[in-house]
């Protein structure tokens, strides 16, 4: 049997809130999750405790492998006015290898939308690319010529 409860956001006195919370706690207790999810009381659930941590670890390792970017060179500061523009200790990352002639890089930091991305063009391919950290590079615009 499945129970559904829809609680709208309305102003209730304290005792009404307490009654709702007590009802929710009683409902959760009635599910007997301790017996159903305990590997000592339910042998069928043991696979979950072994398999799920392995799945989570696999995806963490896979994500770090997929998002790994090769680095190149180092940053040598010749003018002290350049210091506020870079993060100390950051390495240069290779973000694209398919671009033949890249030019016009533009870093856009949109704090209102929580977006940071790099736009640049490939003049030989007549394309404009957008690169976002975590999402990679994709084509924004291209011409038919």
Average pLDDT over residues 98-117: 86
Q: Which of 117, 96, 99 is nearest to 108 (CA)?
A: 117
Cα gap 129→126, rounded to integer Å: 10
Average pLDDT over residues 20-30: 88
| pLDDT confidence bin for 3, thresholds 50/70/90 | very low
Q: Which residue has the tokens 């690169």?
A: 131
Q: What is the dihedral of CA 26, 28, 34, 38, to 10 degrees?
A: 180
Residue ranges of domains in the chain: 14-66, 71-142
The mean pLDDT of 45-52, rounded to a whole number, is 86
**Mean pLDDT (the chain, rounded):** 80
Each residue's pLDDT tens digit, 86-104: 877 777 888 888 888 889 8
> Taking a C-beta distance cutoff of 8 angstroms, is the pair 133, 140 a contact?
no
pLDDT in tens, 53-83: 999 999 888 877 776 677 788 778 888 888 8
Q: Does 2 or 71 have the greater pLDDT score?
A: 71
Residue 58's pLDDT is 92
Q: With a threshold of 0.85, does the pTM exceed it?
A: no
């Amino acid at each position: 049997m499945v129970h559904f409860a829809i609680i709208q956001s309305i102003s209730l006195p304290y005792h009404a809130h307490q009654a709702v919370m007590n009802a929710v706690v009683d409902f959760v207790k009635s599910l007997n999750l301790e017996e159903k999810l305990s590997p000592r009381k339910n042998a069928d659930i043991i696979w979950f405790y072994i398999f799920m941590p392995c799945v989570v670890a696999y995806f963490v390792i896979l994500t770090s492998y997929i998002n790994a970017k090769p680095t190149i060179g180092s940053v040598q500061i010749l003018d002290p006015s350049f210091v506020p523009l870079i993060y100390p200790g950051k390495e240069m990352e290779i973000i694209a290898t398919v671009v033949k002639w890249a030019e016009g890089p533009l870093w856009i930091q949109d704090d209102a939308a929580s977006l940071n991305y790099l736009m640049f063009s490939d003049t030989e391919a007549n394309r404009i690319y957008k690169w976002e950290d975590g999402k990679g590079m994709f084509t924004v615009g291209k011409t038919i010529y």
